[in-house]
Structure 1
């Protein structure tokens, strides 16, 4: 009998039809980050990777593929095998903002299978202390009194800062001049020096400068107050209806089997619920926001519709 068992085992390794499929995951996972190390997508990827590796007993590799506003990484993942072993950290800047500004080498809906939302990034509206505005209402009043005289910095056309400020301008009927930079970090020196007046950016980057008195905090940009900054009002409290949600999630190549997506989502949700994961992300100004794959797909669709109107109204164009 042992001989027959040995022969059967040998045949199963040679004949694919006889092999028993191993449950997912059974080999290393690669998480592709569309930006350089250090930002919120990278922090998210490395935090999740560490926990998934412990949970699965499989290697989870984080690979940064920056360039072209995230298009290089997105294209690579869209063309990867649809087996669940390549994930993209997908912010709405990659899945929504970039595609709305023109041709990108991927379709944000057709080329990816959503795994789930993961985080929302706290963003703050700040001004240089020389600007005589201590809240959103005063800033808007000042902008209306001085049309085109105030300036705002962004990481370039199509960046979250650009989209956020153009929405604020459109909803408030104000004229604030756009000064684009090669990335959000590149804008900070001029903002701190007072060469530009207004900025919307990530809390973890801005809070040290707010605490030192080099920038004045006016508001958060989400629809609700951030849990870690409950004393800080939202822009929407002064400008009803305004909200900007900067989120990131994970996607796999389109065609990834549904059972693999379900397993990936279940374990992602499990990891994001861990108290130490929430604590690590909170220190970076990041709030956990887990979801089902369907909820992430709905968020992508809703953002594409909403921000398309902003792009048209503000005539935002790619460089």
Structure 2
């Protein structure tokens, strides 16, 4: 009996000294940090806080949301890329951070090599609108007007390389039109001039634009996705008038490269579970956000496809960072 106790004591002592002999606790077993690359209030922040609340309930572990805005998302992306690859630091990763920014020049991270995709999460509803003074009530009329008045119409964006800039340059390229770019320091900064009629055209998030559309201060022409949005089935897509056009503004979650595969599988499974909850879908829908969950491999493929597709737009339109 005495010898058995000695062996047990020695084994216990060794396991505490030699990590490899200790029994690993299943993931997750400590708090998770979700880093948001922008200020509070936008769709990435809404996504992070909604998912964090549910994961905390599911796991019984604290889930902390930390906003690290700046440099178009590069500050947050760099921080997560350099975090320990243990699954306890996630980045809310929109395609503006993983695709648009890297295509415009040097960023302190590689969107493919520095991250391990966990999964896509959402697609944000984006709408094409004009000021009511613009004599166009649908996409076809807008394109006809732009061709009749080359260079006379203007469109606003949140700056070079913003989703609005990329989306409108794709529209111009595919339709053979010339519409002048008026950049602002952020999409919100463009709204006053758009509402006042000092710029003509804009593509932006539905939750921001719908109140102005409903009040009659803006005219809605179309949605930008390949299919009609479920919450706006009466609204046509740009692609119905301009075949092949689609812009999907998505966000997902990534972890640092090298995160163990079993940790990524667990993270993905629970993320998909949370996004399937009816109350989560309802909260996001009220913000003009549609759930779009995926596997890690599907998110990796989406990143690769967007990098190829938008690289052509950057080259053709000569889009440059500020």
Please give the range of the TM-score, normalised by the shorter of the 2 chains: over 0.9
1:14: Cα distance to partner? Answer: 3.0
Match of 1:278 in 2: 281
1:65: Cα distance to partner? Answer: 0.3
1:3: Cα distance to partner? Answer: 7.3
1:19: Cα distance to partner? Answer: 1.2
**Partners in 2 of 1:6 and 1:71 — Cα distance?**
50
* Aligned: 1:312 with 2:308: no
**Partners in 1 of 2:22 and 2:85 — Cα distance?**
20
* Aligned: 1:143 with 2:155: no
1:297: Cα distance to partner? Answer: 0.3
Deviations 1:169-221 (A, max 9, x none): 00000000000000000000100111100000000000000001010000000
**Partners in 2 of 1:207 and 1:7 — Cα distance?**
68
SS at match of 2:116: strand
**Partners in 1 of 2:174 and 2:24 — Cα distance?**
55
| TM-score for the superposition, normalised by structure 2 | 0.97
Match of 1:122 in 2: 125
**Partners in 1 of 2:57 and 2:126 — Cα distance?**
31
* Aligned: 1:23 with 2:32: no
Deviations 1:96-151 (A, max 9, x none): 00000000000000000000000000000000001110000000011111111100
**Partners in 2 of 1:25 and 1:7 — Cα distance?**
29
**Partners in 2 of 1:179 and 1:148 — Cα distance?**
12
SS at match of 1:247: strand
SS at match of 2:293: coil
1:35: Cα distance to partner? Answer: 0.3
**Please, which of 181, 188, 208 is the counterpart of residue 185 of structure 1?**
188
1:5: Cα distance to partner? Answer: 4.7
1:12: Cα distance to partner? Answer: 2.5
**Partners in 2 of 1:163 and 1:199 — Cα distance?**
12
**Partners in 2 of 1:80 and 1:300 — Cα distance?**
21
**Partners in 1 of 2:117 and 2:59 — Cα distance?**
20
1:4: Cα distance to partner? Answer: 6.0
**Partners in 2 of 1:87 and 1:113 — Cα distance?**
10
* Aligned pairs, number: 319
SS at match of 2:73: helix
Residues 188-207 of structure 1: pairs in structure 2 closer than 5 A: 188-207=191-210
1:257: Cα distance to partner? Answer: 0.6
- Between 1:137-146 and 1:8-17, the stretch displaced more is 8-17
SS at match of 1:200: strand
Alignment gaps of 5+ in structure 1: none
RMSD of Structure 2 on Structure 1 (CA): 1.1
SS at match of 1:36: coil
SS at match of 2:136: coil
1:78: Cα distance to partner? Answer: 0.4
SS at match of 1:162: helix
Alignment gaps of 5+ in structure 2: none
**Partners in 2 of 1:6 and 1:202 — Cα distance?**
62
SS at match of 1:236: helix
Deviations 1:258-283 (A, max 9, x none): 11100100000000000000000000
| TM-score for the superposition, normalised by structure 1 | 0.98
1:80: Cα distance to partner? Answer: 0.5
